[in-house]
Amino acid sequence: MSPGDGEQVLSYPIPSEAALEPPAEWAALRQRCPVARVKLPSGDEATLLTRYDDVKQVLADPRFTRLLNADDAARLSDNESGGLFSTDMAQVIPDSGEGHQRWRRLVGKWFTAKRMAALRPVMAEMAEQLIDDMIKRGQPADLKACLGFPLPVYVICDLLGVPAADRDRFAYWSDTLLNLTRYGQTEIDEAQAEFIQYMADHVADKRAQPSEDLLSELIKESDADGGRLSDVELLATGMALLVAGHETTANMIGKMVGMLLADRARWERLLADRSLVRSAVEEALRFDANPGFGMPRYLGEEAEVGGTVLPRGTTVICSMAAANRDESVFDGADEMDLGRSPNPHLAFGSGAHSCLGQALARTELQVVLEVLLRRLPSLELAVAAEDLRRVDGLVVGGLREVLVRW
């Protein structure tokens, strides 16, 4: 069977009306066409994977690279640059082998479970403050704008040593850099140029006057052991952390709360048993039907996936969200079970490139949920769950607003 035999070429991303429901095509693709041909917003074709085993294999397989700026790689969007994944900046951080591992371990030590646990009080304080402000402004309130969007930017700015006064600019750059269709190429280029300039100045400041943040430590240590990160690597690292850590977590906070309140029995179960917060966060990550684009990979040599031989030069899109609904791995995959365990979902990817900041994201989501349960136990959606709307045009999926009362 060749990819997409007998099937019409699907447009990707697959349009979906309901904000919290998966598109019907996922189940059909997993069953009948797990290696499917799709057409991207650029008009280029790619291969979509939807089964758990295939997605997991490809994400951990070094033959499937991040080199999406290759001449024959599919462009994701019709912007000249082809979007975030193929910017020059995305190529600075080593893709594989020892170079990647060196970078990963230099930065990764900042995201250990223990360090994240130590950040809990700071995060809880930020969440309390944002919830106080939301309560003052009155109900109904947009929980995404009041809490979901600002909190992760505050945390990342904190990690990078960026002053509080610049947080809003960071939020704008992050939003712009991740967009595939909402902003024009000029705006994207301008935002990228501004951000690069800001970070270059910031790195220079930190070199001159190091403090306690991640960037300063990276500068100090990489200088000390000879394997130093160049200014460009430091800059790309700062950009990667912002781009990877802001919009994703911001939207996930909104979606998690949306999912938990869409069926209020879920919220009540958590109120009755707070020890479920950890597994509830994992289940929200698995159950998220609106995570965004998925993970693109470029195949540097011929390889077989799910019984199909893919030629060299294929661009593969891994749909982790479709894989997370795979009935062959998750019992009752279409039920949200807050106590599900184990929950080996692929929301953070898999293998050597799995999300560097996953402990940070988990901790933020757990802290937000704990603080919300404590401060606003009467929380409920102020609109019908069917009226929640998806954001358009982002690499990262989310809800436009999450209007709540308490």
Partner 1 sequence: MKINVDEAKCCGAGQCVLLAPEVFDQRDDDGVVILLEAEPSEHLHAAVREAAAVCPAAAIELSEST
| 113 is a site residue for partner 1 (CB under 8 A) | yes
Nearer to partner 1, 232 or 352 (CB): 352
Nearer to partner 1, 230 or 354 (CB): 354
Distance CA 230, CA 357 (A): 22
**Least separation, in Å, of the C-beta of 405 and partner 1?**
33
Angle of helix 247-262 versus helix 231-245 axis, rounded to 10: 10
- The structure tokens 């190091």 sit at 210
Contact pick of 105, 186, 275, 331 for partner 1 (by CB under 8 A)? 105
Distance CA 266, CA 385 (A): 14
Distance CA 136, CA 153 (A): 21
**Least separation, in Å, of the C-beta of 333 and partner 1?**
16
| 79 is a site residue for partner 1 (CB under 8 A) | no
Distance CA 187, CA 180 (A): 12
Q: How many residues bind partner 1 (CB under 8 A)?
A: 29
Q: Which of 175, 187, 86 is nearest to 398 (CA)?
A: 175
* Residue 209 backbone phi and psi in degrees, to 5: -135, 80
| 341 is a site residue for partner 1 (CB under 8 A) | yes
Nearer to partner 1, 2 or 354 (CB): 354
Cβ-contact 344, 328 below 8 angstroms = no
**Least separation, in Å, of the C-beta of 123 and partner 1?**
15
| 112 is a site residue for partner 1 (CB under 8 A) | yes
Distance CA 240, CA 385 (A): 33
Q: Which stretch binds partner 1 (CB under 8 A): 42-50, 125-133, 299-307, 343-351?
A: 343-351
Q: Which of 266, 271, 397 is nearest to 340 (CA)?
A: 266
| Contact flags string 204-243 toward partner 1, x per CB under 8 A | ----------------------------------------
| Contact flags string 353-372 toward partner 1, x per CB under 8 A | xxxx-xx--x----------
| 351 is a site residue for partner 1 (CB under 8 A) | yes
Bridge partners (DSSP) listed for residue 210 = none
| 63 is a site residue for partner 1 (CB under 8 A) | no
Structure token pair of residue 298? 């470029």
Q: Which of 30, 39, 31, 34 is nearest to 8 (CA)?
A: 39
Cβ-contact 96, 62 below 8 angstroms = yes
| 350 is a site residue for partner 1 (CB under 8 A) | yes
| 116 is a site residue for partner 1 (CB under 8 A) | yes
Nearer to partner 1, 37 or 66 (CB): 66
Nearer to partner 1, 104 or 167 (CB): 104
Residues in contact with partner 1 by CB under 8 A are 60, 104-106, 108-114, 116, 278, 341-344, 348-356, 358-359, 362
